[in-house]
């Protein structure tokens, strides 16, 4: 588990040995990535996170003892927490919703290819919320059903540029695609995204899109 300064550090929580070994091989054998921890369960979770010091945690939902949803909530409650990318074999609507509410920033199926897995982790580090289109549609429906309506006092007014960016997000564009579409730098788009998240009281692009759809902000 050697690392280089520019590597994306990934910790893996997975109880299935075959899957665990495959993930470790992918991240350890790909330039730009480093596997800094491989764990079969969430026992001594805080110690494992401190020891591996990941940028991204690849978290299984179904594990013995503490499950991935509870683990995500515990990890994200700490200051400076790494980003959590959930992974499972199930497209369980309520578990997807629960994981995102717990603080996960994305969701990937175990059937995803190595390339898709690497792309998802890279997107997380870039501030995105990777999900397959099928999962994303279901998540949006769940947020529309569960999320409370915003009031005028709850949500600050978005600027025209922020509305433009939010509209592109609703249409499925990631930050880099938005930058290309609007002829802006990637860092400028990220700055706008942070302002949008703050104004909408959300922490991810998935939450921003859900709120935009539910409250007809764009």
CATH of the domain at 89: 3.40.50.2300
List 8's β-bridge partners, or say none. Answer: 33
- Contact between 85 and 77 (Cβ < 8 Å): no
For residue 75, name the pLDDT band (cuts at 50, 70, 90): very high
Q: Say yes or no: 160 and 137 in one domain.
A: no
Residues 126 and 31 in one domain: yes
Whether residue 84 is predicted with pLDDT greater than 80 in this model: the reply is yes
Report long-range pairs for 136-142 (Cβ below 8 Å, ≥24 apart).
Answer: 136/172, 136/206, 138/91, 138/93, 138/96, 139/96, 139/97, 139/100, 139/107, 139/206, 139/210, 140/206, 140/209, 140/210, 140/213, 142/93, 142/94, 142/96, 142/97
Number of domains in the chain: 2
Statement: residue 115 has pLDDT above 80: yes
Question: What residues are paired with 165 via a beta bridge?
Answer: none
For 5-9, 20-24, 32-36, 102-106, which range has the lowest pLDDT when averaged over its residues? 5-9
Q: How far are the Cα atoms of 24, 69, 125, 215 from residue 78, in angstroms, in the given order?
A: 25, 15, 18, 30
The whole domain housing 187 covers 149-214
Alpha-helical segments (H) within 126-204: 133-146, 160-170, 175-182, 186-200
| Two tokens, residue 36 | 């800094």
The whole-number pLDDT of residue 170 equals 83
Indicate the pTM of the whole model: 0.67
Give mean pLDDT, residues 101-130: 86
40-59: per-residue pLDDT in tens?
999 999 999 999 999 999 99
Per-residue pLDDT at 10 exceeds 90: yes
pLDDT at 5: 56
Is the separation of the CB atoms in 33 and 10 below 8 Å?
yes
Q: What is the pLDDT of residues 19-36, one digit of tens each?
A: 999 999 999 999 999 999
- 127, 142, 157 - which closes a domain: 142
160 and 136 in a common domain: no
The span from the first CA to the last CA of the chain, in angstroms, equals 45
Residue 131 has pLDDT above 70, yes or no: yes
Q: Which residue, among 79, 61, 81, has the nearest Cα to 70 in the 3D structure?
A: 61
Asked if residue 153 has pLDDT above 50, the reply is no
Question: Do residue 58 and residue 97 come from a single domain?
Answer: yes
Quote the CA–CA distance of 8 and 65 in Å, as a whole number.
28
Residues 135 and 174 in one domain: no
Q: Which of 100, 120, 142 is the last residue of a domain?
A: 142
Domain shared by 174 and 130, yes or no: no
Residues 93 and 13 grouped into a single domain: yes
Residue 155 has pLDDT above 60, yes or no: no
């Amino acid at each position: 588990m050697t690392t280089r300064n520019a590597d994306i550090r990934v910790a893996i929580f997975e109880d299935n040995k075959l899957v665990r070994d495959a993930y470790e091989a992918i991240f350890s054998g790909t330039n730009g990535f480093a596997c800094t921890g491989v764990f079969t369960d969430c026992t001594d979770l805080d110690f494992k996170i401190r020891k591996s010091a990941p940028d991204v945690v690849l978290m299984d939902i179904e594990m013995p003892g503490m499950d991935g949803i509870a683990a995500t909530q515990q990890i994200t409650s700490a200051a400076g927490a790494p980003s959590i990318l959930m992974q499972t074999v199930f497209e369980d609507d309520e578990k997807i919703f629960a994981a995102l509410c717990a603080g996960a920033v994305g969701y990937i199926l175990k059937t995803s290819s190595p390339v898709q897995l690497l792309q998802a982790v890279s997107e997380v580090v870039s501030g995105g919320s990777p999900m397959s289109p099928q999962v994303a549609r279901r998540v949006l429906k769940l947020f529309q059903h569960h999320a409370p309506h915003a009031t005028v006092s709850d949500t600050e007014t978005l600027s025209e540029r922020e509305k433009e960016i939010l509209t592109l997000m609703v249409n499925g564009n990631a930050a880099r695609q938005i930058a290309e579409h609007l002829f802006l730098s990637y860092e400028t788009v990220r700055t706008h995204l942070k302002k949008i998240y703050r104004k909408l009281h959300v922490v991810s692009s998935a939450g921003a899109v859900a709120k935009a759809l539910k409250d007809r902000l764009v």
